[in-house]
Amino acid sequence: MTTSQALFQRASRYVPGGVHSSTRFQAPHPLYFSRAEGPYLWDVEGDRYLDCTMGNASVMLGHSHPDVDEAVTAAVRQGLTTGVETEAAVNAAERLAGMIPDFGRVKFANTGTEALMHALAIARHTTGRERVAKAEGAYHGWLDPLWVSTWPAPDQLGPADRPAAPPSSAGLSRSAQGTVVLPFNDLAATERLLRKHASDLAAVVVEPILIDIGYIPATGEYLRLLRDLTAELGIVLIFDELLTGFRVAPGGARQVYGITPDLTTYGKAIANGYPLAAVEGREDLMATTDPSKGGPVGWVGTYNGHGTAVAAAAATLPLLADGSAQAYLDVLGAQVREGFAELSRRFGIPAVVAGAGGHFQPYFLTGSPTGYRTAMVSHAARYAALHRVAREHRILLPAKPLLHAALSTAHTETDVAALLKAAEEAFAEMRSMT
């Protein structure tokens, strides 16, 4: 029995499925890890893996980055954990303000889910409305109103121009059925739905690039429509930049598209793997959370602005600010893209890699998808072969066919070559698959 198997047996006595986040489960058992450095993870067997998942893409500078480690270690030595304000939290807020165009005001939370909950509370209070709209297939965390239509099954989709809102988990509040699901990149249908439901809608939440289903950019026209229409209809526009934030540009997707939403959520790369998230937004909206002015929207949390997390952010953000990290990741990303394109041609298997900022997604399709419905038909068995062969080569890719892989600035061209070598073997296998 391997050490991972033994740990799984021990864990399963007390922990359902042996995992603390359902997506970590992999049959027959998850791997258990003991160490990480740079682009590598070591499992409890002592085997080294090239990590192309990087803490759900949060570890953009590589595991155990020396500057981040030093800042966190210093915070630990100071002995402060949580429950008080610190200079590091001020530093982190200032760093963000220096990176994000049209920066308004910011407050920290711990996770993306919490940040979205806060943002929705601000939107509901400000508009006096209840419902929210989101794009089909998009993931924004596990809060009730947004945890619908994430990776829906084909029989749950509903009509293309007014998608259904199937729950992505049991146990959601019934109110989640009221979420309006928008067909991403379909301007006419989105406009129709927003106008129809405007009087009930507090917020439109959108990832400017759908990264939890690979890498699907909104067209500039689509985001412009959302911006103009929400302004006209009095709906709060929220960009979820948990994954685009700091990877696609130092100022995130808003910088790339030149469009400023009312509120934005950040997390993940903000603190290189430490638990920090943020809501940034228009001064008047964020003022609703200002306790010094009697702002009526509560903003509380034992761990908010935790000493180690804000220290990590204050050390991480300067390393992401000048664009060189993103440029380096785009060079590696181009090598992955071109490598897969060559394999696709050589083996006659349709495949396309989409991505930027170190995110990459191999789709087994003839062209890049424009929304969930065109992405979900990616050949799952071919992706499964790629995932399995990569794992045999000790390379970790996401197990789900529609998620997103991620590189860090600690990855090198040699690592990309190792990935492409494994991919070559997988493509050879795919040729004999039906």
Ligand X SMILES: Cc1ncc(COP(=O)(O)O)c(C=O)c1O
Residues that bind ligand X (CB under 6 A): 56, 111-113, 139-141, 207, 212, 240, 242-243, 267, 277
Residue 198 to residue 394: CA distance in whole angstroms = 50
Give the shortest CB-173-to-ligand X separation in angstroms: 17
Residue (61 or 115) nearer to ligand X, CB: 115
Residue (277 or 426) nearer to ligand X, CB: 277
Residue (139 or 360) nearer to ligand X, CB: 139
Give the shortest CB-285-to-ligand X separation in angstroms: 19
Residue (243 or 354) nearer to ligand X, CB: 243
- Mind spelling out the 3-state secondary structure of the chain? CCHHHHHHHHHHHHCHHHCCCHHHCCCCCCCCEEEEEECEEEECCCCEEEECCHHHHCCCCCECCHHHHHHHHHHHHHCCCCCCCCHHHHHHHHHHHHHCCCCCEEEEECCHHHHHHHHHHHHHHHHCCCEEEEECECCCCCCHHHCECECCCHHHCCCCCCCCCCECCCCCCHHHHHCEEECCCCHHHHHHHHHHHHHHEEEEEECCEECCCCCEECCHHHHHHHHHHHHHHCCEEEEECCCCECCCECCHHHHHHCCCCCEEEECHHHHCCCCCEEEEECHHHHHHHCHHHCCCCCCCCCCCCCHHHHHHHHHHHHHHCCCHHHHHHHHHHHHHHHHHHHHHHHHCCCCEEEEECCEEEEECCCCCCCCHHHHCCCCHHHHHHHHHHHHHCCEECCCCCCCCEECCCCCCHHHHHHHHHHHHHHHHHHHCCC
Residue (339 or 355) nearer to ligand X, CB: 355
Residue (108 or 427) nearer to ligand X, CB: 108
Give the shortest CB-210-to-ligand X separation in angstroms: 8
Give the shortest CB-96-to-ligand X separation in angstroms: 17
Q: Which residue sits closest to ligand X, CB atoms considered? A: 112
Give the shortest CB-261-to-ligand X separation in angstroms: 14
Residue 201 backbone zone (phi > 0: left; psi -120 to 50: alpha; other: beta): beta
Residue (111 or 288) nearer to ligand X, CB: 111
Residue (252 or 339) nearer to ligand X, CB: 252
Give the shortest CB-303-to-ligand X separation in angstroms: 13
What residue type is 428 in one-letter code? A
Tokens 């296998």 belong to residue: 429
Give the shortest CB-243-to-ligand X separation in angstroms: 5
Give the shortest CB-192-to-ligand X separation in angstroms: 25
Give the shortest CB-385-to-ligand X separation in angstroms: 25
Give the shortest CB-301-to-ligand X separation in angstroms: 13
Cβ–Cβ under 8 Å, residues 352 and 215 = no
Residue 71 to residue 274: CA distance in whole angstroms = 12
Measure Cα distances from 405 to 197, 341, 396 in Å.
35, 17, 9
Residue (114 or 186) nearer to ligand X, CB: 114
Residue 244 to residue 211: CA distance in whole angstroms = 8
Q: Crossing angle for the helix pair 324-347 and 413-431, nearest 10 degrees?
A: 20
Give the shortest CB-232-to-ligand X separation in angstroms: 26
Residue (23 or 34) nearer to ligand X, CB: 23
Residue (242 or 317) nearer to ligand X, CB: 242
